[in-house]
Amino acid sequence: MDKKISSKIRLRMSAKDAHYGGNLVDGAHMVHLFGDLATELLIMRDGDEGLFRAYDSIDFLAPVYAGDYIEVEGWIDREGNTSRHMIFEARKVAVARPDISASAADELEEPIVVCRASGTCVTPKECQRKNK
């Protein structure tokens, strides 16, 4: 594929996203964000939301806490007639600093990769509205 189709989401993890003690956000939240990106990528590629078939791999690499800003990026790296294989990466780009004050935060000089994944989505031929 000559032109990579990619998308990016950046959002703050809130207290409602924290699932465990110490305001730790569960890893499933990153997987949920990857699913949102996959849907957008399929809309961009096929004009249809398609279906997520399977993840090949998911690696949780660093903790995420309420107050952290996460940037999630995904792209289609290869495709078949109906399948679209995608790569995802979630990076922490800013962190809350409750040790300083309730509203303190630091932008990170270097983002921290918190999760990587890859998987395959399918858009049935009859649902593909765009011909790339």
Per-residue pLDDT tens digits of the chain, which is 132 residues long:
345 888 999 999 998 989 888 899 999 999 999 999 999 999 999 999 999 999 999 999 999 999 999 999 999 999 999 999 999 999 999 998 989 998 899 999 999 999 999 999 999 999 899 876
The C-alpha atoms of residue 104 and residue 10 are separated, in whole angstroms, by 19
- Could you say which of 3.10.580.10, 3.40.350.10, 3.10.129.10, 3.40.190.80 is the CATH number of the domain covering 6-127? 3.10.129.10
**pTM tops 0.85, yes or no:** yes
Q: Which residues contact 106 (CB under 8 A, 6 or more apart)?
A: 94, 95, 97
Token pair in block for residue 7: 């998308």
